[in-house]
Amino acid sequence: MSVTIEDLQRQVSDYLQADEVDRVLRAYDFGAKAHEGQHRLSGEPYIHHPLEVAQILANMHMDSQTLIAAILHDVMEDTRTAKGEIQRRFGKGVAELVDGVSKLAHLPFDSHAETEARNFRKMLMAMSNDIRVILVKLADRLHNMRTLDALPPEKRRRIARETLEIYAPIAQRLGINSIRLELEELGFAALHPLRHRILAEQVRKARGHRKEIVDRIRTALKRRLRQEKIRAQILGREKHLHGIYLKMRSKGLSFDEVYDMFAFRIVVDSADDCYRVVGTVHNLYKPVPGKFKDYIAIPKSNGYQSLHTVLFGPFGIPIEVQIRTREMDDVAEAGIAAHWLYKSGSASERSGAHKRAREWLRRIMEMQISSGNPQEFLENVKVDLFPESVYVFTPKGKIVELPRNATAVDFAYAIHTDVGNTCVGVRIDRRLSPLGTRLLTGQTVEVVTAPGAHPNPAWLNFAVTAKARSNIRHHLKQLQLDEAAGLGKRLIVRELQSHAASYDTIQPGQLKRVLDEYHLGSEEQLLQEVGLGNRMAPIIARQLLDDWAAAPPQLKPAGTAAPLLIRGSEGLVVNFPKCCRPIPGDPILGFVTAGRGIVVHHQSCTNVAEYRNHPDKWINVEWEAGIDGEFPTNMRVEVTNQRGVLAKIASVIADQEANIVNVEMKDKDDRYTTLKFVVEVRDRVHLAQVMRRIRALKHVARISRR
């Protein structure tokens, strides 16, 4: 049965002032008039939906501004009502809340995924200013999920998947357990209706056999706590179907193995009583080793506090017990909404939940700045939504929460973005360790930084947290753009020289005409486009000379301009492929590839024949004199099957100051084995010295460069 305005009035009158109740009623009248004539797909008048959303928030004792925003949350999106009208009638706070929840309705996007990603980013940015935005959105999503049956199956599944991937985890991150559980149950039922129905039937059948055991355990717990003179409320907890399903799927367990655990919640008066209860239940039933968790001393990131323990019950049945105070129980159910639920008394847990939510939002906004596009931002947020955690310590004893499998690089970025960007090493429990080391709960971690250091692209192979990955990508993207601008200018200068012109003599008006033609905002962007291979330097050069209209757009064959000098250190816009791995001294050829800049091949590489079919994209390149660096190259060695031959070759390579990057072994026949090395050398002369020393070894039959 739908809630009525009279029901809402009675409910909010219990905790709001009379003038606030009156404003809520005026908002209902305004919303009903704005939505007049509109109906939902279920056939009911549209105003019923915002009224239900307001009722969900009234159950949390939310303030009058939030309730008014809930009633009006669709008027900007679905009616002609403007934000200014809402602000004039109900104030700026309500108008900002409604605007934060409203979608970007009239902007064209390339796909539904981009539309959803941009709407999500807008909502989170509004949420960072006023966290009540997400509470209204969660209540809106909850009522939409309750009425999902009216939608077509495909849309139903899409909304259910979005709910399980985004909104239920956000509710969990904010500690709103009651909404989170219902969103998960409704999402599971809509996304996997058959699995949900089968599990529900199994739970219904199993429940009858469990009642006697549950009553027996509860009685034993009550009797023992009474003997210890501890006042407590003992509740049996039902596992919800989505949790059962996830545990069965992730751990490969049968229904009986998952559902065989009996769960109880013990609610007491104080934190001291919580620890006394742990000792009491451990005396009553034997605890399972390694299954005790103290979330009171170290709360979860959403403010959740409780003691968890698993016991061997009667007949060897496992019993899961959660022990918490009444305030902790309120926060566990209402999360950040508990900040509004109680206006007086001790609220340290609630303010803690609010602070943690604010901290999470701050990290989200940092990711928003680092992420290049809305869909990447949405994926980063999904990664960051309440993963399983490890807790490590700074040298000063501060606790840092990280997701499972997080590494030292993730820790560095969790401390501060600048610490992550400049880290060069790490000490774990006072021992120097690699930056890719996975961290474990209880370790003390100290980051070693150096001025001028910068992120390494290899960090993306082991960084786990969204903050670390987005900041590394952001730095590399900026570095690539800077390199691309430099390379683009060199390419254009080279082309202009072949026309007996100079880059410095280009007229501002001509540069502006080229920028306007390609819809670019600055000279820097034009140079970046050329450096990344998205625009061809010969074409841009002729356009800058105003020679494009006068002459047919024929591209000069490679070789008519001076070769481009390659330093080997460009890294992100000059690439050396694995097919031929050229090194200084090799004859080389450059191929312009969109988005990657120049790919440099050895002139004898088999892939060059294919590239020569595109003469407009390849250019003559040469190594710059005096290159100082190390370059990987391939080397193939055939040896007789003798013990220790690999160690001898490795020793020779090390003696020649070369570095082995990779080695593969393959038996050629009973007598010979082929070793394939990737070694880092300075140039062709250095490689020749290495090969000469290896060839001199007794058991080496043949050596060649692959």
User: Is residue 552 scored above 60 in pLDDT?
Assistant: no
CATH number at residue 94: 1.10.3210.10
Predicted local confidence at residue 278, as pLDDT: 94
Per the structure, the complete domain to which residue 549 belongs is given by: 474-621
Q: What is the mean pLDDT of the chain?
A: 81
Q: Which pLDDT does position 135 carry in this prediction? A: 85
- Read off the DSSP letter of residue 165: I
Confidence of residue 548 (pLDDT cuts 50, 70, 90): very low
Q: Please say if the pLDDT value at position 638 is more than 90.
A: yes
Residue 50 maps to a domain:
yes
Q: Is the pLDDT of residue 302 over 50?
A: yes
Residue 181 is assigned to a structural domain of this protein? no
Closest listed residue to residue 308, CA positions, set 319, 317, 245, 316: 319
- When pLDDT is cut at 50, 70 and 90, the band that residue 344 belongs to is very low
Please tell me whether residues 519 and 554 are part of one structural domain. Answer: yes
Does residue 501 sit in the same domain as residue 577? Answer: yes
Neighbour count for residue 129 (Cβ, 10 Å):
12
Same domain, 394 and 295: no
Domains identified in the chain, total number? 5
Average of pLDDT values for 613-623? Answer: 80
Residues 516-539: tens digit of each pLDDT: 888 888 888 888 888 888 888 888
Active-site residue, from 7, 78, 114, 182 = 78
Place of tokens 């064209």: 108
78 is catalytic: yes
Does 180 map to a domain? no
Q: Is residue 65 part of a domain?
A: yes
Checking DSSP bridges between strand 445-449 and strand 423-428, what pairing results, if any?
antiparallel
Q: What is the CA radius of gyration of the chain?
A: 33
Listed range (201-210, 278-287, 659-668) with the worst mean pLDDT: 201-210
Whether 104 has a pLDDT exceeding 80, the answer reads: no
SS3 of residue 441 by DSSP: coil
Residue 239 lies inside a defined structural domain of this protein: yes
At residue 43, the pLDDT reads 78
pLDDT per position as a tens digit, 233-281: 998 876 788 888 888 887 787 887 776 567 899 999 999 999 999 999 9
What is the per-residue DSSP string for 14-31?
TTS-HHHHHHHHHHHHHH
Q: What is the model's pLDDT at position 79?
A: 75
C-alpha–C-alpha distance, residues 305 and 46, integer Å: 40
Rounded to an integer, what distance in angstroms lies between the CA atom of residue 125 and that of residue 386?
Answer: 19
- Domain edge (last residue) among 572, 598, 621: 621
- What pLDDT shows up at residue 184? 92
Residue 302, domain CATH: 3.30.460.10
CB 524 within 8 A of CB 484: no
Place 74 in a pLDDT band, splitting at 50, 70 and 90: confident
End-to-end CA distance of the chain, in Å? 76
More confident call, 245 vs 119? 245
**What CATH number did the domain enclosing 672 receive?**
3.30.70.260
Mean pLDDT of 151-165: 88
Q: Is 77 a catalytic residue?
A: yes
Q: Same domain, yes or no, for 410 and 444?
A: yes
Strand 389-393 to 399-403 pairing: antiparallel
pLDDT tens string 42-61: 778 889 999 999 999 898 88
Indicate whether 172 belongs to any domain.
Answer: no
Last residue of a domain, one of 317, 333, 349: 349
Mean pLDDT on 291-308 = 84
Token digits of residue 409: 């690089």
Q: Which residue has the higher pLDDT, 663 or 214?
A: 663
pLDDT given for residue 109 in this prediction = 39
Please give the order of strands across the beta sheet that includes 700-704.
Answer: 659-667, 672-681, 631-640, 700-704
Residues ≥6 apart with Cβ < 8 Å to 702: 637, 638
Max mean pLDDT range (175-189, 367-381, 474-488): 175-189
Number of Cα atoms under 13 Å in the Cβ half of residue 77: 16
Give the Cα separation of 438 and 451 in Å (integer). 25
457 and 536 share one domain: no
- Whether 305 is covered by a domain: the verdict is yes
Domain-embedded: residue 182? no
Find the catalytic residue in 63, 77, 294, 630.
Answer: 77
pTM greater than 0.85: no
The pLDDT value given to residue 15: 86
Query: Looking at the structure, do residues 486 and 398 belong to the same domain, yes or no?
Result: no
φ, ψ of residue 304 to 5 degrees: the values are: -65, 130
Asked whether residue 355 carries a pLDDT value surpassing 80, the answer given is: no
Q: How confident is the model at residue 553 (pLDDT cuts 50, 70, 90)?
A: very low
The CATH number assigned to the domain holding 427 equals 3.10.20.30
Give 375's pLDDT tier (boundaries 50, 70, 90).
low
% of the chain surpassing 70 pLDDT: 84
Cα torsion through 484, 487, 489, 491, rounded to 10: -130
**Judgement on whether residues 330 and 254 belong to the same structural domain of the protein:** yes
Q: Which of 299, 315, 349 is the last residue of a domain?
A: 349
